Structure 1
């Protein structure tokens, strides 16, 4: 069986698995106890059992050992990342500032670069921000981080931010401070964040949204007893879901999901409010029984389902700016289709609204105005992100060769995705 040295060499893979599952350091000791219990139950041969038990016991999985080994692994990975960054000529940086559960501000730094073989996206650093979080303070933190690790800030060709004044301010924002060091750098407001800003609700629809959230909070947060009774009702009705969902502005997808769950559990919510003895229940019940109110709720559910689909399509690793902008343009075209669908009353793309409404007259101007304003917001956001649709005159010779059948064979490449295509293209056509 394994010697103590061999057992220790298998420790990093175990800690890697636990780390990827976001388990705490002491959990590894529980894993070790479980392995010993399984060995004791499964293996009957005493000699083999003793050997396997000794091998498992020799694996250092104490809390202190976990911390030391994880620190060593993290240090090695970080050093390898720095070595690759020092070899690259240009890189893109994305920064995001937010607070953790203890209300401490944290600044995340992500890097996108080409390591000579492929494009990579890595978490470069997580910097704590004490006190104020102004652009000057964030720039000082990032400058010190880059200087301490020997990375040249002038190599940054693109900076992506969340568009907040402290990030994108023209005078004292982080981008302005960085441009003074790297004048060639371009800045970009996070495209995923821009889609969220486009979907700002009108006053009427915001009132509807607030009423839905108030109803959810009334059922879930008024008292523990009330919440338990609602669970019992869902169980008795064999409902599709076991609870309502809360909405959080920080989590962009939660609004659409909370609305969808609310519509799915409408019958259960109505029954619960009818049986409730609290005075507020009657107010919430009257709203749900109002057809125009529920039509607005169903409209919001459908439109935010479409927005969530777009949001999820924009997320993920390895996405380029051109891919994101292309998806934004496609959704912009779809908005024309959605507007026509609403105005004609067919509601092919609004299943919840179609199921809720009995006639096209329940499609109000508030709904169509929201689609129109959504189109205008997307147009304004995409104004500076237009993709070229024509080949410049300087490339006409290339265009002629590319359309020639004999030349097409030369330019044919294996099917690849994303930025890997350009790396392969460089190898075939330097």
Structure 2
């Protein structure tokens, strides 16, 4: 058969007919790319065709409208004429309001530009408005109507000193969270989020989603980021360094980089030896029940439903999902007896091997232990997950967990109060202490101590200052460490400000009543405490984890799903930006993020997986 192009309605160039207004109560607005609009419900029809308009009218309005306004009657013509007048008036009002607002904002931006170019104070913006109003009043003094209109428009231009300042101010620090993952078509996508202070609150927004081809080494990622910076007007210098962080640090020596806190906590709890062998066996058992055959899986679920079991199915393990291990182990522990009973009905050798595993008290002791310890780790993980967390919040959670692990280390050798499943299993089967379990908890405590104790450029004293600024001494070593974090800071002035802050009863009272972010944003005066507030805002800008990147990958896979796997990279970037943004207008989002990002790279923080 010969290839033929698909029929597209857009190519037919349908023209709107005037008699459609009388017949179907539709009108074609007078602007570019207008669509036929129903005068009754204001809905639009995509394709300008008689059948489409007729179908809408007959389905939605014909019965009631024709009964009240019969066809060809004078009442009908008058009603349609009134609706047309009302529609045009509404469109005109909205258009004028939008145009006036946009013009006022544009004028404000223009004035701010001229003030900045002429090195004039921003307080002069109001003076310029007063001069403009006075000039108009004199020039149009013989035309009162026109003078009143122009003066009202000038009064709408936002030109306060604070507004003019915000037009040109820049973010003092930018934090980047960088992570990568494959989409539905196995293309690696590099997700880059920016965190910055916009003058009112901290924003976390998608900066870019960059496709990676081939290998995903630090050199490749750095090259892709460099190309993106250059393309968008940000000059960068490439030097001979290996790895993403070292290359970025070569460009910006003040760069502060550290590993995602969530990933560090997961690495601290990495299984090995007997524990890894036990987890692998549980995973194979679950996969055997799920995937050996569809019939076998259905029979297992039918059995659980028939005996009214606590759960209706097993959960599959996925290394990418942080809570997966604990939940899989919990489900296997809860359904231990049901699994053993079901496996005994199967004839395969693998089924019998898994049954022996389930009835072996020693092996199940390890399963119950892993289930208990993973429940503690999952509680920590849930505390660390979520958007808009500060580095203080997450380090407090980790610090608390380090204390808990020390308690667990003692408890596993004693009454096992914090290992309820293991304690019940040991009491039931008269089992004693196990050295493998004790060694695992000791190793866990050691890993958390070493991983989170030595944090480059981010000591516990600096974090304490951010959380409790009145409990640190001005002449302590932490001010020298703060100088390393932010080289441009005035250390001498910082010490004086800390002393002054410590004597302020007002700030102490406000600190007790509000959170850490609200205190530094709204309570600490910028002019009076420039250095202390600056170091605090730098720390609050930090991405403590790449959680926002991980959650964006879930959105990415929902957008670029199996039915939309041909979605272009550019469209995927745009769709993901809209899906993840906190702004209500995507143009405002892009302008805000990129304006703040390109203004400065003096004090940046990068968080990588």
Which whole-Å CA distance do the structure 1 matches of 2:376 and 2:241 have between them?
37
Contact 2:343–2:354 (CA under 8 A) maintained in structure 1: yes
Query: 1:23-75: CA deviations, max 9, x gaps?
Result: xxxxxxxxxxxxx99x979x99734999xxxxxxxxxxxxxxxxxxxxxxxxx
Partner of 1:46: 64
**Pairwise CA distance, 1:233:** 0.7
Q: 1:263 to 1:3 in 2, by over 3 A?
A: farther
Aligned to 1:284, which of 354, 373, 383? 354
Contact 1:119 / 1:419 at 8 angstroms: preserved in 2? no
Could you say what secondary structure the match of 2:412 adopts? helix
Aligned residues: 352
**1:383 deviation in Å?**
2.2
State the match for 2:314 in structure 1.
Answer: 244
Q: 2:279 aligns with which of 204, 209, 233?
A: 209
After superposition, give the CA deviation of every residue in 1:52-104 in whole Å (9 maximum; x if it has no partner). xxxxxxxxxxxxxxxxxxxxxxxxxxxxxxx9999323201110022223221
Q: Where in structure 2 are the equivalents of 1:335-374 lying within 5 Å?
A: 335-344=405-414, 346-358=415-427, 361-374=431-444
Q: What does residue 449 of structure 2 align with?
A: 379
1:348-397 CA-to-partner distances (Å, cap 9, x unmatched) read 21122123222674431111100100011111101223411662343788
CA displacement at 1:424 relative to structure 2? 1.1
* Change in 2 beyond 3 A, CA 1:186/1:274: same
TM-fit CA distance, 1:327 = 1.4
Residues 198 and 374 in structure 1, CA contact (< 8 A), matched pair in contact too: yes
Give the structure 2 partner of residue 299 of structure 1.
369
Extract unaligned runs of 5+ from structure 1: 6-35, 51-82, 155-169
Could you tell me how far 1:3 is from its partner in structure 2? 8.3
For the 8 Å contact 2:474–2:498, the answer to whether it is kept is no
Structure 2 residues without counterparts, runs of 5 or longer:
1-24, 30-54, 69-165, 465-470, 477-494, 530-609
Q: Given that residues 84 and 115 in structure 1 are in contact (C-alpha distance below 8 angstroms), is that contact kept between their aligned partners in structure 2?
A: no
1:269 aligns with 2:342: no
Contact 2:474 2:499 in 1 (8 A): no
The equivalent residue for 1:420 is 518
**2:475 maps to what in 1?**
394
Indicate conservation of the 8 Å contact 1:295/1:353, yes or no. yes
Between 1 and 2, higher relative CO (CA 8 Å, sep ≥ 6) is seen in 2
| Residue among 193, 203, 222 paired with 1:120 | 203
- Is 2:238 aligned against 1:187? no
Query: How far apart, in 2, do the equivalents of 1:271 and 1:85 lie?
Result: 71
Paired residues of 2:326 and 2:378 also in contact (CA < 8 A):
yes
Label 1:296 to 1:127 Cα distance change in 2 as closer, same or farther (>3 A).
same
Greater shift, 384-393 or 283-292, is seen at 384-393
Sort the Cα spacing of 1:397 and 1:115 in 2 relative to 1 into closer, same or farther, 3 A. closer
Q: 1:237 to 1:2 in 2, by over 3 A?
A: farther
Deviation readout 1:151-174 (Å, 9 max, x if unpaired): 5679xxxxxxxxxxxxxxx94111
Separation in structure 2 between the aligned mates of residue 314 and residue 378 of structure 1, nearest angstrom: 15
Q: What is the CA distance between 1:210 and its match in structure 2?
A: 0.9
What is the CA–CA distance in structure 1 between the aligned matches of 2:191 and 2:318, rounded to whole Å?
21
Match of 1:325 among 395, 400, 414: 395
Distance 1:258 1:180, change over 3 A: same
Computing the radius of gyration over CA atoms, which structure comes out larger, 1 or 2?
A: 2
Match status 1:145 vs 2:224: no
Q: TM-score scaled by structure 1?
A: 0.73
The separation in 1 between residues aligned to 2:419 and 2:253, in whole angstroms, is 47
Cα 1:313–1:276 shift into 2, 3 Å: same
CA positional deviation for 1:234: 0.9
